Amino acid sequence: MVVFVSIVLFCTYVKLILCDLCDPNHGSEGAYDCVHMPKYNGYQWAVCLSSHSLKTHTSGYMDCHGSAFCWLPCTQSVNPNIEQGHVAHECICDPTENERRKRSLLAEGRKMEVTVSPVCYIPAMESNCQWYSSCLESHSACEESDFHYAISYGKAICSIFLESFNSFSEDGKSWIMSSQKCIEDRLRSILMPNDTSDCKNVHNRAYKAHTDCYLRQSNPGFCNLQHVDQMKIYWSIKQVYQNAFSEYFDKGMAEFRTCLRNDVYMEQIEYVFYIEKNINKLYEVDEKDFAMALAEKFAFSSHGVDWDVDLNMYNRSRSKRDTDFSRSKMYQPIRVLVSRKQVDLVDRSRRSPNQNHLRKTDESEYDKEFLENLDKNIINGLKEENFQVLDIDVKKRKKRTIGALLVTAGVVFSCFLGLPTCISSVLVIHTYRQGVLPDTPKDIDPKFILHTKITSNIYLSFSNASSLSHFSPTKPTYIIVHGYRNSGDEDWIKNMTSRLLDKKDANVIVVDWEKGANQWWYHYEQAAVNTEVVGTILALLVESLEHHRGASKTHIHIIGHSLGAHVAGFAGSAHKETRYQRITGMDPAGPFFRDKNANARLDETDAHFVDVIHTNGGYRSYSDLGYLDPMGHLDFYPNGGEHQPGCYRKSLNTCSHSRAHQFFTESILSDQKFKAWECGSLDQCKSGDGINTTGRSDNRMGFYTENVEGNKMYYLKTNKTSPYSTP
């Protein structure tokens, strides 16, 4: 007996092939043991495999190096890149305990062999969706339990990604292959002899494997994929997490959202609802309850539409500065994301209706028209039910829905209580204070003051037809919009109004949005996002003038300075049916607008004719107050467009920035002022090199600018002091 034990121990610790567990010539394949491999620093489980099996299933990457059979160590099985060094934690075994196992099996007449096919332990060189059913489920038998995973979700999502494989970019394809391989490798340790995981543990380990492999172990990483790939993956994974890992759903999806690229929402619709908070008791709405009620009311599922909710938006929209800010928001934003269903949960068989699995949805199951019209449906629902659209007990919660923001293909609409239409908004500011939302119209309280040759200081309201009686639809209309930290009572606005009425028998409307623009310096971005609200309310006023005063054929020219130029742009984009005849941008604001696309600022599509005067443009954050790149049909660069003569160079060059409205006001006096010469590039406009300013001019900057065909840029020089126009 002593001799037998000595032989067994000798075989165990020295791993001699006399033990016949993994003879290099005879195997047997599928045997396992607790061994100490020469290149590793501890004992670990190992499975005996044939060289043929290793070569076949790894495309020749692995073999037994000259023998017919060899040990495949657990560490290399779960992580093919670790061929030596520390034994993986999940692979560690106790040789003494293993001897007891051997004796117990021998007493029962059994061998130390794995219970599933030996090839289940071979590292995945490529994604193999069958591994979940033939290996993981065969070993754990969890499919009939409450924690079914292997076939319903693991194999299902693997198959869905491979089915859609060719629709992904090359990086997306690489992500699919590496992430699926990673998941299989991570879960392979469950097959090891020492693993005692029950179905719940398998389920929990699967969640960790999916999240880690999707976000951190794949190559390339999810965060680095292009937005089209991200969206396909996001809406597929969302169903896995929602149905397979429901207890981890919020945490898991929050991790994915942190990686979504800024342009990712172009592939879906985003709705941000404003919920007014009770002043005395600032209860918070449960975002998921709110979103679920929205989905149920509009029957998202029956139209092939999926949804998700951003649970962290409210916290991101708040900061210490917001809390200390005297005009902090009194509403709670809730963001709901809506897209077509990429994946659906269906009954796997009639005999087991409670056992479901994922499947890729067919294009025909998706009601595209419904999704395209969803914004209108929600708006109508708001109107029909007096803004209480989600069957939430608003009295009990002491709050009510006061508005909704919806983003369609990058365009945001916001509906506010008291407005007959929705406010369009496309500017999303991403700064150290992420998620800055616009103030409500009530907070901004924009005023529209009409001046004519015979009347002045007439306050107009789009919702009050009687206030519009002094507006003359037969006369041209000029609308002046101020910018940051200004008001409608500025001297330059009074001077411009006076000059316009001296030259024209016209309607001059001054837009005063002081409450929305007069922010502290570190809240500049708040004023920037408020331009969206002011611009759309301005469009509502023009629409009301058309409806009640017949102004549809009136020549309307908006003249906006700094942020006011972008107000004009948002007014133009919100009023596409008639479009304004002309918008003049006087040194449009640069900070926070430089990296925005054309829909999020003034651009040439906002009116029939857009001309821009650049006086303090540049690319430095706050040092350059204006937008330098061309953005209109015609762009003028007096003195190069960056700095104006007679102005001292300061960190905030308000002097150069203000010259734009000074130039325009002076240009009203005569059609011979501010002669300009065309330049072939922005660099030439900035330097003036090679431009003959003594010859015949190509155009005039300011009020009398000629709308010529094509997009043009012009250079000109001015004097240091008024009069600024050179002879």
* Same domain flag for 151 and 92: no
CA atoms within a 13 Å half-sphere pointing along the CA-CB vector of 489: 3
* Same domain flag for 287 and 406: yes
Of residues 587, 603, 606, 635, which has the active-site annotation?
Answer: 587
Residue 314 has a pLDDT of 60
Q: Give the DSSP H or E segment for 107.
A: helix 95-107
Tokens 């999810």 locate to 222
Mean pLDDT of the chain: 83
Q: Report pTM.
A: 0.63
In this prediction, residue 279 has a pLDDT band, given cuts at 50, 70 and 90, of very low
Residues 384, 385, 388, 389, CA torsion sign: negative
Report whether 640 contacts 685 (CB < 8 A): yes
Average pLDDT over residues 121-136: 88
Residue 704 has a pLDDT of 97
**Structure confidence by residue, pLDDT tens digits, 316-330:** 554 434 443 334 555
Which amino acid is it at 164?
S
Q: What tokens appear for 143 in the block?
A: 């499919």
**CATH classification at residue 679:** 3.40.50.1820
In this prediction, residue 578 has a pLDDT band, given cuts at 50, 70 and 90, of low
* Same domain flag for 236 and 296: no
Asked if pLDDT for residue 645 goes beyond 70, the answer is yes
Q: How far is CA 657 from CA 141, 611, 643, 705, 719, in A?
A: 72, 16, 8, 20, 15
Asked if pLDDT for residue 175 goes beyond 60, the answer is yes
Helix axes 170-187, 199-212, angle to 10 degrees: 150
Q: What tokens appear for 335 in the block?
A: 């963001």
Q: What tokens appear for 358 in the block?
A: 């994922």
Q: Tell me the Cα Rg of the chain.
A: 35
In this prediction, residue 60 has a pLDDT band, given cuts at 50, 70 and 90, of confident
Does residue 425 fall inside a structural domain? no
* Same domain flag for 500 and 565: yes
CA dist., res. 472 & res. 293, Å (int): 48
**Which of 372, 407, 166 shows the shortest CA–CA distance to 263?**
407
Q: What tokens appear for 574 in the block?
A: 């919100």
CA dist., res. 44 & res. 615, Å (int): 72
* Same domain flag for 501 and 602: yes
Does residue 356 fall inside a structural domain? yes
Average pLDDT over residues 686-706: 94
Residues 439, 509, 587, 555, CA torsion sign: positive
Average pLDDT over residues 226-255: 88
In this prediction, residue 125 has a pLDDT band, given cuts at 50, 70 and 90, of confident
Does residue 100 fall inside a structural domain? yes
CA-based end-to-end distance of the chain: 118
Last residue of a domain, one of 417, 446, 466: 417
* Same domain flag for 700 and 655: yes
Asked if pLDDT for residue 533 goes beyond 90, the answer is no
In this prediction, residue 595 has a pLDDT band, given cuts at 50, 70 and 90, of confident
Q: How far is CA 378 from CA 187, 268, 369, 372, 659, in A?
A: 44, 16, 14, 12, 45
Of residues 657, 658, 661, 725, which has the active-site annotation?
Answer: 657
Q: What tokens appear for 132 in the block?
A: 């979940």
Average pLDDT over residues 510-535: 86
Higher pLDDT, 406 or 221: 221
Write the burial class of residue 111 (CB in 10 Å: 0-12 exposed, 13-18 middle, 19+ buried). Answer: middle
Does residue 723 fall inside a structural domain? no
Higher pLDDT, 664 or 437: 664
**Which of 468, 632, 481 shows the shortest CA–CA distance to 541?**
468
Higher pLDDT, 615 or 367: 615
* Same domain flag for 302 and 387: yes
Residue 53 has a pLDDT of 94
**CB atoms near residue 416 (< 10 Å):** 21
Asked if pLDDT for residue 284 goes beyond 70, the answer is no
Residue 428 has a pLDDT of 37
Which amino acid is it at 326?
S
| Cβ neighbours for 77, distance < 8 A, ≥ 6 positions apart | 47, 91, 121, 122, 123, 185, 188, 189
From start to end of 175-268, where are the E strands?
A: none
Last residue of a domain, one of 417, 452, 467: 417
In this prediction, residue 154 has a pLDDT band, given cuts at 50, 70 and 90, of very high
CA atoms within a 13 Å half-sphere pointing along the CA-CB vector of 584: 25
**Which of 611, 637, 648 shows the shortest CA–CA distance to 693?**
637
| Residue 364 designated active-site | no
* Out of 80-94, 141-155, 342-356, 523-537, least confident range: 342-356
Instruction: Specify the number of domains making up the chain.
Output: 4
Asked if pLDDT for residue 11 goes beyond 80, the answer is no
* Long-range contacts of 718-721, Cβ-Cβ distance < 8 Å, separation of 24 or more: 718/638, 718/639, 718/644, 718/645, 718/659, 718/663, 718/674, 719/645, 719/646, 720/645, 720/646, 721/646
Report whether 151 contacts 143 (CB < 8 A): yes
Asked if pLDDT for residue 164 goes beyond 60, the answer is yes
* Same domain flag for 153 and 236: yes
Report whether 661 contacts 496 (CB < 8 A): yes
| Cβ neighbours for 224, distance < 8 A, ≥ 6 positions apart | 171
In this prediction, residue 25 has a pLDDT band, given cuts at 50, 70 and 90, of very high
CA dist., res. 177 & res. 25, Å (int): 35
Q: How far is CA 132 from CA 56, 88, 223, in A?
A: 19, 22, 27
Q: How far is CA 723 from CA 490, 501, 673, 693, in A?
A: 20, 20, 10, 18
* Same domain flag for 233 and 298: no
Which structural domain, as residue segments, surrounds residue 172?
A: 131-257
**Structure confidence by residue, pLDDT tens digits, 385-403:** 433 333 333 333 333 344 4
Does residue 189 fall inside a structural domain? yes
CA dist., res. 580 & res. 572, Å (int): 6
CA atoms within a 13 Å half-sphere pointing along the CA-CB vector of 162: 15
Last residue of a domain, one of 121, 154, 175: 121
CA dist., res. 532 & res. 601, Å (int): 9
CA dist., res. 185 & res. 78, Å (int): 5
| Residue 482 designated active-site | no
**Structure confidence by residue, pLDDT tens digits, 596-623:** 778 789 999 999 999 999 999 998 767 7
Higher pLDDT, 641 or 268: 641
Longest dimension (CA), the chain: 122
* Same domain flag for 496 and 570: yes
Average pLDDT over residues 353-373: 80
Does residue 360 fall inside a structural domain? yes
Higher pLDDT, 440 or 187: 187
Does residue 423 fall inside a structural domain? no
Does residue 424 fall inside a structural domain? no
CA atoms within a 13 Å half-sphere pointing along the CA-CB vector of 454: 4
In this prediction, residue 257 has a pLDDT band, given cuts at 50, 70 and 90, of confident
Asked if pLDDT for residue 170 goes beyond 80, the answer is yes
Residue 81 has a pLDDT of 85
CA dist., res. 287 & res. 313, Å (int): 10
Asked if pLDDT for residue 418 goes beyond 90, the answer is no
Percent of the chain with pLDDT over 90: 49
Asked if pLDDT for residue 267 goes beyond 90, the answer is no
Q: How far is CA 83 from CA 43, 73, 76, 79, 650, in A?
A: 14, 9, 6, 9, 62
From start to end of 551-698, where are the E strands?
A: 556-561, 580-586, 607-613, 634-638, 675-678
Average pLDDT over residues 174-183: 93
CA dist., res. 27 & res. 416, Å (int): 76
* Same domain flag for 215 and 247: yes
Tokens 């999502």 locate to 157
Residue 433 has a pLDDT of 41
| Residue 657 designated active-site | yes
Of residues 339, 414, 472, 562, which has the active-site annotation?
Answer: 562
Percent of the chain with pLDDT over 70: 80
* Same domain flag for 497 and 597: yes
